[in-house]
Amino acid sequence: MSTHANLLEKNIMKNMIQMALPLMFLNLINSLYSVVDTFFVGRIGELQVGAVTLVSPVSNCAVAFTAGLSAAALALISQAIGAEKYEKSNETATHLMLLSLITGALMTVVLFFGTDLVLQWLDTPENILNDSRLYLKGISFDFIGMFLLSLFHAIHQANGDSKSGVRLNSIAALLNIILDPIFIFVLDMGVLGAALATSLSKFVLVPVVLRKLYENEQHGMTTIAFRKYPLNMASLKEIMTVTIPASVGQFFTSFGFVMMNKAIIYYGAIAMSAYGLGSRIANLFYIPVNSIGGALSAFIGQSLGAGDPQHAKECFRKAMLLCAGISAVITVFGWIAAPYILPLFVKDASEELLTLANEYAFYSIATAFFMGWYQILTGVFNGSGHTRSTLFLSVFRLWGCRLPMIYFFKALGFGPTGIWWSMILSNICCCAAGQILYGTGRWQKTRAIRK
């Protein structure tokens, strides 16, 4: 008997909360990588925080493909399960894992040998140049582990299981917490140690990921079998139809943050450190609302796969209600708590750093509802396989709104505050555009699923 979770039952709110809670924990675990790195790197000095913050979006550009593969897993596998085409879901999962292994290895090679070119293009200040180089080279080894852990979670989430991915990522995060101080201080590797600790904590779990996916067949869930399902052009085309728009969207999002960092570094390394510190805190408060959108993808996919668009619409409505209630609470709590949390991260932080970081955190937390709304819209489009809409929103948010606003406010002499305002306004504009796309109803037509 199949143990694929049925997300089509009537109690949508209960099912959504049950799906979202493990995702919240997973997102918290994923945030711990950057939070823990920031905490331990902050023990070295505030400039080192700026070095890590400057180059982090560069590595995110390289892993944009994993966002596309995860979107393909959620859309194609959840729709196949909704249509009770379980062999099709197994084939798709196998091919996605193979593509992840290949792409992760290629990304490692490209970033490791391209580090100096990237830093030169970023006009990296001399006082953080060496630390930026060391961190970027070290984090280039993170890709294979990151790709496989992300895809493992997406495959299980499409099956209605959001807990298995949380368990493995929790183990990886715990390893990172243990390895960070050892590599940074005991082995005296500094920021390079932080990067290698993050990379190693995920890579050691790769054999576990592959073994568990092979064993899924015993539990009636989507499994992988490389010999049984050799890669073919029909499957590759189907996967790329979903993967490429989502990957391009994620790439432009990450590259937009690279450009934003390039604008922030204009105001000095302290401003960069403040942005890095403030964003770590703000992202923690985004976790509850972002998790709702992540859970929604599987609901949308299974609903449309079963031919029930009305159920999908009701899922969207309930997700928005959850987002509104949760964001109201976390915004108020975040405004109160952030000023007390920020000083804990950097030893002997300067007044300038704390002032800028508190200012950024205040503005960022204020936009929690719009971040959740954006993630919910992304969940609709990814779950239905309409990743071109996700691509449009990603590009529009950063390149159509945020970056032009940043340079506009810079010309008006707003300083770093203009950057914080640009982030809020671009999220609002993006949500309005996304809601218009949702209103067209085109997302209700799923991508055709091969037999």
- d(C-alpha 58, C-alpha 77), whole Å: 30
Q: Is residue 450 part of a domain?
A: no
The counts of H helices and E strands in the chain are 18, 0
Query: Amino acid identity, residue 170?
Result: S
| Long-range CB pairs of 112-118, under 8 A, 24+ apart, other chains included | 112/137, 112/140, 112/141, 115/140, 118/55, 118/58
Of these ranges, 13-22, 112-121, 282-291, the one predicted with the greatest mean pLDDT is: 112-121
Q: Is residue 37 part of a domain?
A: yes
- Report, as an integer, the average pLDDT of 206-211: 92
pLDDT of the residue at 8? 62
Phi (first) and psi of residue 77, to 5 degrees: -70, -45
pLDDT of the residue at 6? 53
CB 397 within 8 A of CB 434: no
pLDDT of the residue at 108? 92
pLDDT: which is higher, 277 or 182: 182
Is the sign of the CA dihedral 184, 189, 191, 193 positive or negative?
negative
Tokens representing 66 are: 């994993």
Residue 384: alpha-carbon gap to chain centroid: 19
CB 420 within 8 A of CB 364: yes
pLDDT of the residue at 448? 46
Give residues with Cβ within 8 angstroms of 376, minimum separation 6.
292, 293, 296, 316, 319, 320, 323
Q: Is residue 24 part of a domain?
A: yes
- Report, as an integer, the average pLDDT of 375-389: 87
For residue 327, give its domain range: 12-444
Q: Is residue 451 part of a domain?
A: no
Tokens representing 114 are: 């391209």
Give residues with Cβ within 8 angstroms of 383, minimum separation 6.
74, 75, 78, 296, 297, 298, 299, 300, 301, 304, 312
Q: What is the mean pLDDT of the chain?
A: 84
- Report, as an integer, the average pLDDT of 241-248: 77
b/e sequence 419-437, b meaning 16+ C-beta within 10 Å: bbebbbbbbbbbbebbeeb
pLDDT at residue 431 tops 80:
yes
pLDDT of the residue at 395? 85
Q: Is residue 2 part of a domain?
A: no
DSSP label of 398? I
CB 48 within 8 A of CB 131: yes
pLDDT at residue 60 tops 80:
no
Q: Is residue 1 part of a domain?
A: no
Domain count, the chain: 1
Q: Is residue 51 part of a domain?
A: yes
> Per this entry, what is the length of the chain?
451
b/e sequence 91-127, b meaning 16+ C-beta within 10 Å: bbbbbbbbbbbebbeebbeebeeebeebbeebebbee
- d(C-alpha 406, C-alpha 414), whole Å: 9
- d(C-alpha 202, C-alpha 47), whole Å: 27
Q: Is the pTM of this model over 0.75?
A: no
pLDDT at residue 1 tops 70:
no
pLDDT of the residue at 55? 80
DSSP label of 413? T
Q: Is residue 7 part of a domain?
A: no
